[in-house]
Amino acid sequence: MARRPAASKATSNVSKDELLKYYRDMLLIRRFEEKAGQLYGMGLIGGFCHLYIGQEAVVVGLEAAAEEGDKRITSYRDHGHMLACGMDPKGVMAELTGREGGYSKGKGGSMHMFSREKHFYGGHGIVAAQVPLGAGLAFADKYLDNGRVTFTYFGDGAANQGQVYETYNMAELWDLPVIFVIENNQYAMGTSVKRSTKSTSLYERGAAFGIEGEQVDGMDVLAVKAAGEKAVAHCRAGKGPYILEVMTYRYRGHSMSDPAKYRTREEVQKMRDERDAIENVRELLLQGNHASEDELKAIDKEIKEIVNESAEFAKESPEPAFEELWTDIYAEDLPQGSAEDMNA
């Protein structure tokens, strides 16, 4: 197997504990998503379900650069983001299965989950709709002068939406503390980047608005973390937005129903064999004598148990009561503008 050497440009000052954390966090997302795929196949999850398998290093690397109180908002491919920011796997899985114990009481499903506690603002099904919302979150932080940063994630396909550029303009004009994270997994449903634009270096588009940015290897969690730290420092210093185009790859279909005619099996297999982010960290751990095969096996087992427990919880949680149809439609406790309310 022609695996690329695991060496990352950013390995020199990384501790064993950090590497183990990234390994664990990425593995949790992968195993959780595999389980979600199984439950979907069994008919326990219905509707849309977009898996994040292959892209784990993006959120895990960026969460490593975030601090308490920072915000995140993303598209429908959102399970990984929720797990990486510390939301409970049980609540996420129960939402996927449409059960009362889910984050939206079983009424939102895969694409519509939120956590005020973890500052996770969804889960958005309309391509690019979260981009202006992310700038809005950052506007509130700037107004409150609280030093917080918002990670606004969107895809390569979304990067062709007009509202992204209206948002870039305002975000730079007002120096908003927002990091635009383009998760470039090379496809928008079945359309490759090359078929949808001639301007394929997506981060460079920020230059038209005066926004700095860079491209990052999204299969290298340490490189993502390093770029994330730079972007966060830029925003916290009051220098306005920053664009990170993170080059990644999804191994599964766009959603659970995908005929997969737009790429070859060999292309997917090559990425899995040569670039997989979890395997890369696994090799760093083994090569650096930070962990033994047995220790890594024990972590694998522990993660499987967490995921199995989340699936059991989801299956046992009841479906929402009929009366729940009429609740949670209008917000009742809107913050009235005091800094204390807004930061809650």
* 240 within 8 A of 149, measured Cβ to Cβ: no
How far from 164 is each of 54, 139, 172, 214, CA to CA, in Å?
25, 16, 12, 17
77 binds, among Mg ion, ligand TPP, none (CB under 5 to 8 A by kind): ligand TPP
Whose tokens are 């919302």? That residue is: 133
Q: Name which position in 188, 216, 226, 256 contacts ligand TPP (CB under 6 A).
A: 188
Q: Name which position in 120, 139, 151, 187 contacts ligand TPP (CB under 6 A).
A: 187
231 binds, among ligand TPP, Mg ion, none (CB under 5 to 8 A by kind): none
Query: What ranges make up the beta strands (E) of 194-311?
Result: 212-217, 242-247
Minimal distance in Å, beta carbon 108 to ligand TPP? Answer: 16
**Which residues does 30 contact at the CB level (< 8 Å), separation at least 6?**
53, 56, 278
Closest by alpha carbon to 250, among 237, 263, 239, 235? Answer: 263
Reported as half-sphere exposure (CB side, CA atoms, 13 A), residue 309 has a value of 11
Handedness of CA 120, 126, 127, 128 (dihedral sign): negative
Q: Contact between 245 and Mg ion (CB under 5 A)? A: no
Minimal distance in Å, beta carbon 77 to ligand TPP? Answer: 4
Count interface residues toward ligand TPP (CB under 6 A): 14
| Interaction pattern, residues 236-275, with ligand TPP; x per rule: CB under 6 A | ------------------x---------------------
Minimal distance in Å, beta carbon 129 to ligand TPP? Answer: 7
**Residue of this chain nearest to ligand TPP (CB atom):** 155
Which range touches Mg ion (CB under 5 A), out of 131-139, 162-170, 180-188, 218-226? 180-188
Which range touches ligand TPP (CB under 6 A), out of 119-127, 133-141, 228-236, 303-311? 119-127
Q: Hey, what amino acid is at 246? A: V
Q: Name which position in 102, 155, 177, 228 contacts Mg ion (CB under 5 A).
A: 155
Contacts of ligand TPP in 48-77 (CB under 6 A): 75, 77
Between strands 187-188 and 178-184, the pairing is unpaired
Distance CA 28, CA 281 (A): 14
Whose tokens are 């990670």? That residue is: 151
**Which residues does 292 contact at the CB level (< 8 Å), separation at least 6?**
286
Closer CB to Mg ion, 260 or 325, in the complex = 260
Q: Name which position in 54, 98, 102, 155 contacts ligand TPP (CB under 6 A).
A: 155
254 binds, among ligand TPP, Mg ion, none (CB under 5 to 8 A by kind): ligand TPP
Q: Contact between 78 and ligand TPP (CB under 6 A)? A: no
Q: Contact between 157 and ligand TPP (CB under 6 A)? A: yes
Compute φ and ψ for 319, nearest 5 degrees: -70, 155
Buried b (16+ CB within 10 A) or exposed e, 62-91: bbbbbeeebbbbbbbbbbbbbbbbebbbbb
158 binds, among ligand TPP, Mg ion, none (CB under 5 to 8 A by kind): ligand TPP
Note the residues at the interface with ligand TPP (CB under 6 A): 75, 77, 125-127, 155-158, 185, 187-189, 254
Note the residues at the interface with Mg ion (CB under 5 A): 155-156, 185, 188
